[in-house]
């Protein structure tokens, strides 16, 4: 194991990205490089738990400190790592609300400053810890739609916090179900049906007192037709309906042991047709308008034979911006060429491809810019 340096409180700076990966005493990754700490109380709490960095990384930074830049990929990984830490060992000291709200604000920062990168990450980034990844994916989608609808910061913080914590009562079960090919057992079905109410109960016990957040978690599987669960109410709140829309869409584009992930173009169509409930749920329509029919991360084929990845949303849901990966003869390109689909017949989209069958290489940082990537 690499030699580790124990951090002191004065070595952590508020509102500045961490310059190193941070580990706990057992050597488990706690916070990714680039994560932003916002409160003095959080620093004290983390120091008490024990925070360590690799001595080699610490010495390099101390000798030649550099100005930190916004690094969305590092921030993405850091949020997931810390969310896993919080949800798998729920703090009983009343700090859960502050912890999750802080992570929610980091998600909101990602969706504001690097929305296309964040959308691409939903389908292209590693999902080994699916329950945590899914919660973050749902939070990104929910915040993007809420921002489109001009929800204020307080409402979006409650919404995003609800997305990050909606499955707090079934983290272990969700992990098992990801790899389970058989139908749900009776006790598993019971746990799934009860998880919204049980999740809200656990959040209350852990100190959450935000009523909008709690209602969204409690009702995120209720539907306007009264056939949802756990209470079969016919008037779920707006926040709950938006959360359900994001939840369903991101679940469809994620892989399972028994099925391949659904392509985003098909997932948006299914969410729009099956979850609008004759207009009672306005959010599927807003989802399509916000992310497009071919959202960033989708692999598509153009009329001229080129294959590329959607790198940015375009002027309308059907005309995204594409970075080419294969030329018209099927050969990989050294440097992607940017195409605006719909601008001329040669750049029309003629097909959508599954990433695992498209035989293309993808350099995430080359296409979306990595550090300082922004809208």
Query: What does the alpha-carbon distance between residue 214 and residue 314 come to, in Å, rounded to a whole number?
Result: 35
pLDDT at 362: 77
Residue 276: inside a domain? yes
Phi-psi region of 343 (alpha: psi -120 to 50; beta: other; left: phi over 0): alpha
Query: What does the alpha-carbon distance between residue 343 and residue 361 come to, in Å, rounded to a whole number?
Result: 25
At 22, give phi and psi (nearest 5°): -120, 140
User: Do the beta carbons of residue 250 and residue 270 sit within 8 Å?
Assistant: no
DSSP conformation letters of 137-200: HHHHHHHHHHHHTT--HHHHHHHHHHHHHTTTT-HHHHHHHHT--SPPPHHHHHHHHHHHHHHH
**Both 246 and 310 in a single domain?**
no
**Both 204 and 348 in a single domain?**
no
**Both 303 and 287 in a single domain?**
no
Residue 128, domain extent: 69-291
Query: What does the alpha-carbon distance between residue 315 and residue 312 come to, in Å, rounded to a whole number?
Result: 10
Rounded to the nearest 5 percent, the helix, strand and coil shares of the chain are: 50, 10, 40
**Both 304 and 278 in a single domain?**
no
> Can you give the pTM of this predicted structure?
0.81
Residue 192: inside a domain? yes
How many structural domains does the chain have?
2
Low-confidence ranges of the chain (pLDDT < 50): 65-67, 374-375
Query: What does the alpha-carbon distance between residue 346 and residue 368 come to, in Å, rounded to a whole number?
Result: 24
Residue 11: inside a domain? no
Residue 116: inside a domain? yes
pLDDT at 19: 82
pLDDT at 298: 93
Q: What is the 3 state secondary structure string of 340-353?
A: ECCCCHHHCEEEEE
CA distances from 273 to 20, 98, 136, 283, 326 (A): 45, 37, 24, 12, 33
pLDDT at 169: 95
Question: Of 228, 263, 291, which residue sits at a domain end?
Answer: 291
Contacts of 161 (CB under 8 A, 6+ apart): 97, 100, 101, 104, 210, 213
**Both 107 and 141 in a single domain?**
yes
pLDDT at 276: 92
Question: Of 239, 267, 291, which residue sits at a domain end?
Answer: 291
User: Do the beta carbons of residue 336 and residue 320 sit within 8 Å?
Assistant: no
pLDDT at 375: 47
**Both 349 and 265 in a single domain?**
no
């Amino acid at each position: 194991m690499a030699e580790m340096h124990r951090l002191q409180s004065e070595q952590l700076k508020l509102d500045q990205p961490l310059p190193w990966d941070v580990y706990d005493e057992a050597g488990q990754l706690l916070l990714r490089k680039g994560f932003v700490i916002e409160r003095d109380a959080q620093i004290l709490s983390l120091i008490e738990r024990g925070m360590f960095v690799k001595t080699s990384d610490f010495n390099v930074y101390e000798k030649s400190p550099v100005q930190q830049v916004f690094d969305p990929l590092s921030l993405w990984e850091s949020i997931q790592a810390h969310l896993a830490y919080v949800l798998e060992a729920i703090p009983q000291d009343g700090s859960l609300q502050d912890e999750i709200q802080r992570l929610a604000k980091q998600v909101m920062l990602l969706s504001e400053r690097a929305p296309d990168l964040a959308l691409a990450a939903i389908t292209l980034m590693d999902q080994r810890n699916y329950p945590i990844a899914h919660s973050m994916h749902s939070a990104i989608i929910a915040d993007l739609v809420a921002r489109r609808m001009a929800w204020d910061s307080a409402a979006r913080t409650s919404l995003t916090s609800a997305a990050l914590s909606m499955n707090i009562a079934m983290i272990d079960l969700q992990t098992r179900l990801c790899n389970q090919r058989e139908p749900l057992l009776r006790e598993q079905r019971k746990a799934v049906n009860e998880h919204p109410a049980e999740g809200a109960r656990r959040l209350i016990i852990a100190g959450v007192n935000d009523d909008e957040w709690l209602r969204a978690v409690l009702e995120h599987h209720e539907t306007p037709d009264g056939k949802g669960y756990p209470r079969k109410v016919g008037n779920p709140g707006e926040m709950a309906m938006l959360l359900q829309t994001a939840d369903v869409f991101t679940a469809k584009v994620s892989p399972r042991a028994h099925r391949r992930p659904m392509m985003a173009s098909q997932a948006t169509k299914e969410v729009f047709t099956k979850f609008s409930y004759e207009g009672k749920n306005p959010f599927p329509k807003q989802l399509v308008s916000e992310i497009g029919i071919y959202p960033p991360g989708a692999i598509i084929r153009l009329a001229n034979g080129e294959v590329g990845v959607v790198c940015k949303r375009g002027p309308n849901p059907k005309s995204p911006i594409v970075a080419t990966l294969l030329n018209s003869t099927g050969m990989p390109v050294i440097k992607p060429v940017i195409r605006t689909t719909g601008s001329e017949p040669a750049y029309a989209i003629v097909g959508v491809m599954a990433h695992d069958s498209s035989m293309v290489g993808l350099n995430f940082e080359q296409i979306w810019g990595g550090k300082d990537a922004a809208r």
